Amino acid sequence: MRRILILGGTAEARALADTLVARGVHVITSLAGRVANPRLPAGEVRQGGFGGPDGLAAWLRAERIAAVVDATHPFAARMTAAAAEAAARTGVPLLVLRRPGWREGPGDRWERVPSLQEAAARLAPGSRTFLTTGRRSLPVFVPRADVWFLARSVDPPEPPIPPNVEVVLDRGPFTVENERELIRRHRLDTLVTKDSGGPMTAAKLTAARELGLRVLMVDRPAPPAGVPTADTVEAALAWVLGRS
For residue range 120-168, what is the model confidence (pLDDT) as tens digits?
999 999 999 999 999 999 999 999 999 999 999 999 999 999 999 999 9
DSSP secondary structure, 121-146, as one string: HHPPTT-EEEEES-GGGGGGGTT-TT
Contact residues for 12 (Cβ-Cβ < 8 A; gap 6+)? 71, 97, 99, 198, 233, 236
Share of the chain above pLDDT 70, in %: 98
Average pLDDT over residues 189-206: 96
C-alpha count within 13 angstroms, C-beta hemisphere, residue 181: 5
What fold, for 110-218?
Answer: Rossmann fold (3.40.50)
Q: Where are the domains of the chain?
A: 3-100+221-241, 110-218
Among 129, 113, 134, which Cα is nearest to 218's?
A: 113
Average pLDDT value for residue range 46-74: 96
Are the CB atoms for 5 and 223 separated by under 8 Å? no
Q: What is the DSSP letter of 215?
A: E
Higher pLDDT, 92 or 244: 92
**Alpha-carbon radius of gyration of the chain:** 19
- Give the pLDDT confidence score for residue 195 in this predicted structure: 98
Query: What is the model's pLDDT at position 1?
Result: 60
Confidence of residue 36 (pLDDT cuts 50, 70, 90): low
Model pLDDT, residue 123: 98
Percent of the chain whose pLDDT exceeds 90: 90
Answer for the pair 72, 47: CB distance below 8 angstroms, yes or no: no
pLDDT score recorded for residue 32:
83
Least confident range of 19-23, 195-199, 205-209, 240-244? 240-244
CATH node for 3-100+221-241? 3.40.50.720
Does residue 92 register a pLDDT over 90? yes
pLDDT for residue 37 is more than 80: no
Q: Tell me: pLDDT of 33 over 90.
A: no
Helix, strand, coil percentages in the chain from 3-state DSSP, rounded to 5: 30, 25, 45
Query: Is 2's pLDDT higher than 70?
Result: yes
Residues across the chain: 244
pLDDT band at 39 (very low <50, low <70, confident <90, very high): confident
What average pLDDT does this structure show over 88-98? 97
Q: What is the mean pLDDT of the chain?
A: 95
Is the pLDDT assigned to residue 187 strictly greater than 70?
yes
Residue 38's pLDDT is what? Answer: 79
Mean pLDDT of 229-234: 97
Give CA–CA dist 119/110, Å, rounded. Answer: 12
**Closest listed residue to residue 69, CA positions, set 97, 89, 28, 92:** 97
pTM for the complete prediction? 0.89
Q: Is 3-100+221-241's fold the same as 110-218's? A: yes
Q: What is the mean pLDDT of residues 40-64?
A: 96
Sheet hosting strand 65-70, strand order edge to edge: 44-47, 26-31, 3-7, 65-70, 94-97, 229-230
Contact 87, 68 (CB under 8 A): yes
Residue 244 has pLDDT above 70, yes or no: no
